[in-house]
Amino acid sequence: MVWWFIQGRPPPGHTNHVPYRPTRCSTAKGDSVTDSTTQHNLFAPRHWPSWIGIGLLRLAWLLPYRPRMALGRALGRLVLRLASRRARIARINLELCFPELDPQAQQLLLKQHFESLGMGLMETLMAWWDDGKSLSQRVEFHGLEELQKRLDAGQGVILLTAHFTTLEIGARFLMRYFPKPYCVYRPNQNPIIDQQIINGRTGQGAVMIARDNVREMIRQLRKGRLLWYAPDQNYGHKYSLFVDFFGIPAATNSATSRLAQMGQAQVVAYYCRRKPDLSGYQIRFEPIPEIPSGDPFEDTTRINQTFERWARESPADYFWLHRRFKDRPEGEERFY
């Protein structure tokens, strides 16, 4: 029972349940994402802190919704005090992107951001472990028909989003209508966390595609499938263009333009926003019919403008912990 409580599944060899299947069955062709137990000794002492953390999160998940979110905000404030390096990165990002705010307002936004991160953690537990019925009562969709009619026409769709703190819960809401999305995935360095992420997503029906498996992405798009993609983080110069984000040149993945062109797909952006009174969520779909235009720089600019507009609407909810401006154009001083 302790094993089930922590992992959300029965122990290996438990005869009263269907045995656990490796996550390879829910990954795309050509990917090497497999059940982590085949590659790591997941119960080595070095992983015990991770397992303890997951066990504590399981306890938090048992709380009702509002106490759970209050706990998330409190955890966020605690992390702000303890994680000085990440707090520094977030502070620099807010200073760069919101120079019009005075220091007191920037500090308040920093606090709100960490509270949002804590709530996002609680929402991740909901996304992985809550039943669909309880979740469906908390979400409103706007523009869903724009996505549905493209899929009904048999055309592949790149469902574009950015790293907001509602990322996981937003993806789970989508599976209410689209039970088998293909999700572009970057493995986590911690094998315990990686296992939980894969199990949480594939357990709800998602099929994972490694972010370097471009051939499989194109193949699924040409079949008329839905490809979930979040290209807003800085992964270096390769395949990136320096495109403005909040008026600052940011190394930005330009693959969306090429994927849309080679996969003969349309692009629909979507954004999951937490209601201010914490009564639920709103998901908005925004087609970007101009992509692909044949100009990757122009397409990537449109995408960044969309993400910036969303981040200005809910500034506390964008993932400011990430070093979004890590890579700089030649000759420019580094920010971090």
Mean pLDDT, the chain, integer? 88
Kindly report, residue by residue over 149-193, the tens digit of the pLDDT: 999 999 999 999 999 999 999 999 998 888 899 999 988 888 888
Domain count, the chain: 1
Residue 49 lies in a domain: yes
Residue 332 lies in a domain: no
Look at residue 322 and tell me if it is in a domain.
no
Q: What is the pTM of this model?
A: 0.86
Domain that holds residue 203: 2-313
Residue at 321 is within a domain? no
In this prediction, residues 281-310 reach a mean pLDDT of 97
25: pLDDT strictly greater than 50: no
Residue 318 lies in a domain: no
CB distance 232 to 307 below 8 Å: yes
- Using H for helix, E for strand and C for coil, what is the string for the chain? CHHHHHHCCCCCCCCCCCCCCCHHHHECCCCCCCCHHHCCCCCCHHHHHHHHHHHHHHHHHCCCHHHHHHHHHHHHHHHHHHCHHHHHHHHHHHHHHCCCCCHHHHHHHHHHHHHHHHHHHHHHHHHHHCCHHHHHCCEEEECHHHHHHHHHCCCCEEEECCCECCHHHHHHHHCCCCCCCEEEECCCCCHHHHHHHHHHHHCCCCEEEECCCHHHHHHHHHCCCEEEECCCCCCCCCCEEEEEECCEEEEEECHHHHHHHHCCCEEEEEEEEECCCCCCEEEEEEECCCCCCCCHHHHHHHHHHHHHHHHHHCCCCECCCCCCCCCCCCCCCCCC
Within a domain: residue 327? no
**Whether the predicted pLDDT of 114 surpasses 60:** yes
Domain membership of residue 16 (yes or no) is yes
Asked if residue 329 is part of any domain, the answer here is no
Residues 6+ apart with CB under 8 A from 212: none
What's the CA gap between 284 and 271, in Å, rounded?
5
Which pLDDT score, from 0 to 100, does residue 134 have?
79
Answer yes or no: is pLDDT of 102 > 80: yes
Least confident range from 131-145, 214-228, 244-258: namely 131-145
Checking if the pLDDT of 147 tops 90, the result is: yes
